[in-house]
Structure 1
Amino acid sequence: MHEKASGAIHIGIGGWTYEPWRGSFYPEGLVQKRELEYASRKVTSIEINGTYYGSQKPESFAKWRDEAPDGFVFSLKGPRFTTNRRVLAEAGESIERFFRSGVTQLKDKLGPINWQFAPNKQFDPDDFGAFLKLLPASVDGLSIRHVVEVRHESFRSPDFIALACEHDVGIVIAADSEYPQIADVTTSFVYARIMGTTENEEFGYSNHDLDQWSQRAKTWAAGGIPQGLKTVAASPPDVQAREVFLYVISGFKQRNPAAAISLIERVG
């Protein structure tokens, strides 16, 4: 009997420039310009947050690509100027400007784009559907994957799940946080952000919780649906394999690298 194939599991943190990591995650004396080089050899993915707050330069994306090792993947947060607007259907120019900023310089190290919405942004099926229609499937010959991070309870709707499936867009699975959890799988990959690290755990989470999250990642990668997460619609049938992106974000941020490294060890 053949073992079921599994997709790649990428586990990491949000950003790499954080002063409290110096001396705890980063070795004493490591120069700041070498922090990405160091971090990208300890975790297997990083979600870049700076793209949410402002435009980056093509040279920056190329530099980040070259500093990270082969097989490393960067996810990017889409700009807030795109998602923090009343009418999402009018975001076309903002989306184009983002991709013109040099995103594709990451080449094969480009992971999904996370479009994060404000907690007070409610689900409007027509407007949200129009936004999803604007997201490009490819740019400069590079396939682009998209995921939406919605934070209002109104998105816990079968209509939202259907829209995400129709446009082949993933939904961020928020966990251990105050945000609504929508663990429905709507595309060929899974994107989870776990936000529950605490100061009193050496590795941010207890061993039990780290075991549980690593098992969930392996279940997703093998095409299954983990138990104990909140979904909206009926689960899709198992697929052959899925790529998984799991980020340890927020919580007690100083512990996040330790949690991510512990998860990487557990998934093997």
Structure 2
Amino acid sequence: MAGRIRIGTSGWVYPPWRGVFYPPKLAHRRELEYLSRQVNSVEINGSFYSLQRPSSYQTWREQTPDDFEFAVKGGRFITHMKRLRDIDAPLANFFASGVLALGDKLGPMLWQLPPTLRYDETQLADFFDRLPRSTEAAAELARRHDERLDGRDWTTTDADRPVRHALEVRHSSFTDPAFPDLLRRHGIGLVVADAAAEWPYLEDVTADFAYVRLHGSTELYASGYTDEALDGWAERIRRWTEQGVDAYAYFDNDMKVKAPRDAIGLLERLRSG
């Protein structure tokens, strides 16, 4: 059975997109609604910078089609500030902030490590062991939030579903051949990051899904992808899904309004066979 394909952008609130990708005078509150009719997934990246509110997740769920799916980026407080240490309360707070309000539209969790964090097998294994692997487990973890989430928490799930996790790395030490094996043992997806050679390029499939982040072909966050490049990514994704692996791909080259065009172009290629 072929895997599912989800293609979109990393975020959707970008002023330069207004009047270029988004129609002139489109209300800002309708931007996700507009984008979600042209791609079938989006990566929530506001959750990386700060804890969102349950009402926001509920609104995003309501604005998108029934078959839409969200990837959710884990908080930088966990990955960049705490650097994966002493994170029991921060993890509980993150999952209590409303992630579960997405219901059946909740896709994989993305954890992006800072470029200064080196490969440490023991540290990573400890982090992976703390991650909830189902929505019931996530709800249980969320109920252990601290007082900062009192009165603005969401700690229930409408059904018990699997929760997937993907890891994006940026330090050269992660080229260690033991790293993919560690991910496979814990069922964690490895992010394939195309980042203009700024960070390691790794393409191992380590879980039942593949996760791609396209940051720019030649200029980080800015350059677009040629037709030939999009053809190449479409071929990679087809190869994975033919092996029964689900595939997620998000364009993060937002600075010059390339991301939505590239995402739509890649999805069209994949839908056309």
TM-score (norm. length: structure 2): 0.85
The reply on whether 1:214 has 2:210 as its aligned counterpart is no
Q: Find 2:250's aligned residue among 225, 236, 247.
A: 247
Q: CA deviation at 1:96?
A: 1.4
1:137 is paired with a residue whose SS is coil
Q: CA deviation at 1:198?
A: 6.9
- Residue 173 of structure 2 corresponds to 154
Cα distance per residue 1:142-167 (max 9 Å; x no partner): 32110011110111112221211111
Superposed CA RMSD in Å reads 1.7
1:129 is paired with a residue whose SS is helix
- Residue 114 of structure 1 corresponds to 110
How has the CA–CA distance of structure 1 residues 53 and 86 changed in structure 2, closer, same or farther, with 3 Å as cutoff? closer
- Residue 142 of structure 1 corresponds to 161
Letter in 2 for 1:185: V
Q: CA deviation at 1:87?
A: 5.5
- Residue 259 of structure 1 corresponds to 262
1:122 is paired with a residue whose SS is coil
Letter in 2 for 1:247: Y
Q: CA deviation at 1:212?
A: 0.8
Cα distance per residue 1:175-200 (max 9 Å; x no partner): 1421101111110000001122579x
Letter in 2 for 1:169: I
2:258 is paired with a residue whose SS is helix
Distance 1:115 1:205 in 2: 25
Gapped regions of structure 2 (runs ≥ 5): 137-159
Q: CA deviation at 1:221?
A: 0.9
Q: Find 1:182's aligned residue among 183, 195, 202.
A: 202
The reply on whether 1:31 has 2:27 as its aligned counterpart is yes
Cα distance per residue 1:113-135 (max 9 Å; x no partner): 00111001101111111111111
| Contact kept in structure 1, 2:49 and 2:76, CA below 8 Å | yes
After the TM superposition, which residues 8-157 of structure 1 pair with which residues of structure 2 at under 5 Å, given as runs? 8-85=4-81, 88-140=84-136, 141-157=160-176
Q: CA deviation at 1:204?
A: 2.5
Letter in 2 for 1:25: F
Letter in 2 for 1:149: E
Letter in 2 for 1:189: F
Distance 1:53 1:176 in 2: 20
Distance 1:31 1:242 in 2: 37
Distance 1:34 1:57 in 2: 18
| Contact kept in structure 1, 2:224 and 2:253, CA below 8 Å | no
Identity of aligned residues (%): 43
Cα distance per residue 1:90-125 (max 9 Å; x no partner): 222211111111101101111110011100110111
How has the CA–CA distance of structure 1 residues 89 and 9 changed in structure 2, closer, same or farther, with 3 Å as cutoff? same
TM-score (norm. length: structure 1): 0.87
Distance 2:67 2:52 in 1: 23
Distance 1:102 1:217 in 2: 31
